[in-house]
Amino acid sequence: MTRSTFAKLAGLALAAGTAASAAEPLYWNQAEIAAFAARAPEALSAPLTTVVEKTQLAASGDPHDYVSYARYYWPDPTKPDGLPFVGHDGKHNHEQVDRGDRPRVDKIANAVGALAAAWHLHRDAAAARRAGEWIRAWFLAPATRMNPNLDYAQVRLGHDGNRGNPTGVLDTRAFAQVMDGVLLLEGSSALTAAEDQAVRAWFAAYLDWFMTSKNGKAEHAAKNNHGSWFLAQAIAMARFAGRDTLARELVEEDKARIAAQFQPDGSQPHEIRRVDGLGYSRFNLEAQAVIARHAKALGIDLWNYTAPNGASLRKAVDFLRPYNQAPEKWPTSQNEKLPPGFLDELIAEANSAKPAA
């Protein structure tokens, strides 16, 4: 895709509707599936890693609790222990991020995506078996599975008892690749029918955390890219768990978000004010493109929607288009260097969604 309480809820996971149809990915198109499948040889040899392998546990002390650290937070040089950490927007603390589970999310997402695509296109049985091993380890095996919450995501050390903060909800957006992978594994020996249902139950529990937790609710209400990525993730999980009514409600909700996030000229004030204003403008538009693709599958056209104030996703693409080949001409702050063509995928996505003449 564009570069996106277990036991108690197990019986409720699919009660609200029919889960996403097997072998029909929620998001990927055939070209994207082929691109993933090309990575299968590398994925077959990649070592399996899970959340319980970290050496620095969450404040809960439970190795099954996902933990990550805020990327823009650094030790306070005026304090002997550096605590509490202080924020520096746009300055990445890569060493701190690498201590948490965030890199492992990308590893499972990329591995399952590649392996499942190889099964779907080439009936690669070895790839399917390996995909099943990853999925069971992360979501089913009692010794290694992740608890379905992000209570300790993007911890700012020294703040709030080292609990997570709402921005951490961004961390698992790549899990969408896992959900599509499960669907593409239909007909393989990767998962038994019971295991398939148990994975869906895990994501139903995770969706419940998104919709009801303090941090999930705060992220849902966020006015910038965080709110968009909340919807992108929640809609995917709702579709995967068979809760299409909720998915449609969230898509319809996004119409008001488009009006609030985008100006009639296509600019994004909440993103432009950041140190990396161009990059964040693209990042938010990427989330909106994910939502729009899910919306299309639900019979709702967001790419061709215009809000009452004149804002639209198409105008947002047009606003950024002049900088696609010359990002250095961006008139406000952009510290992180972007390559020419950084907007190509979104331009193509917008063009493919144009209504028929």
What confidence tens digit (pLDDT) does each residue in 279-338 have?
999 999 999 999 999 999 999 999 999 999 999 999 999 999 999 999 999 999 999 999
Spatial CA neighbour of 178 closest among 224, 133, 131: 131
Joined tokens for residue 348: 């193509």
Q: For residues 319-350, b (16+ Cβ closer than 10 Å) or e, as one string?
A: bbeebbeebeebeeebeeebeeebbeebeebb
pLDDT band at 13 (very low <50, low <70, confident <90, very high): very low
Rounded to the nearest 10°, the torsion over CA 317, 318, 324, 327 is -100
Rounded to the nearest 10°, the torsion over CA 275, 286, 109, 188 is 180
Q: How much is the pLDDT for 8?
A: 31
What's the rounded mean pLDDT across residues 223-230? Answer: 98
**DSSP three-state, residue 326:** coil
H or E, element range at 87? strand 86-87
Q: How much is the pLDDT for 4?
A: 36
**DSSP three-state, residue 27:** coil
- Please state, in angstroms and as integers, the Cα–Cα distance from residue 311 to each residue in 19, 30, 262, 307, following that order: 33, 31, 6, 5
Q: How much is the pLDDT for 357?
A: 64
Q: How much is the pLDDT for 23?
A: 59
H or E, element range at 74? strand 73-74
Segments in the chain forming alpha helices (H): 6-10, 30-37, 40-45, 94-98, 102-122, 125-139, 175-184, 193-212, 214-221, 225-240, 244-261, 269-272, 277-297, 313-320, 344-352
Q: How much is the pLDDT for 96?
A: 86
Q: Is the pTM of this model over 0.85?
A: yes
Q: What value, to the nearest 5°, has the Cα angle with vertex 285 and ends 323 and 272?
A: 60
Residue keyed to tokens 């029918």: 193
> Is 14 a residue whose pLDDT tops 70?
no
> Is 356 a residue whose pLDDT tops 80?
no
Mean pLDDT in the chain?
92
**DSSP three-state, residue 137:** helix
- Please state, in angstroms and as integers, the Cα–Cα distance from residue 54 to each residue in 49, 59, 136, 171, following that order: 10, 13, 18, 16
Q: What sign for the dihedral angle of Cα 353, 338, 108, 271?
A: negative
Please state whether beta strands 86-87 and 152-155 pair in parallel, antiparallel, or not at all (unpaired). Answer: unpaired
pLDDT band at 90 (very low <50, low <70, confident <90, very high): confident
The DSSP result for 139-196, as a single string, is HT-TTTPPPS--TEEEE-TTSGGG---GGGGGGGTTHHHHHHHHHHTTTSSSS-HHHH
pLDDT band at 100 (very low <50, low <70, confident <90, very high): very high
What's the rounded mean pLDDT across residues 232-257? Answer: 98
Q: How much is the pLDDT for 306?
A: 98
What's the rounded mean pLDDT across residues 147-162? Answer: 96
Whether the CB-CB separation of 128 and 115 falls below 8 Å is answered with yes
CB neighbour class for 263 (10 Å; exposed up to 12, middle 13-18, buried from 19) = middle
What's the rounded mean pLDDT across residues 237-250? Answer: 97
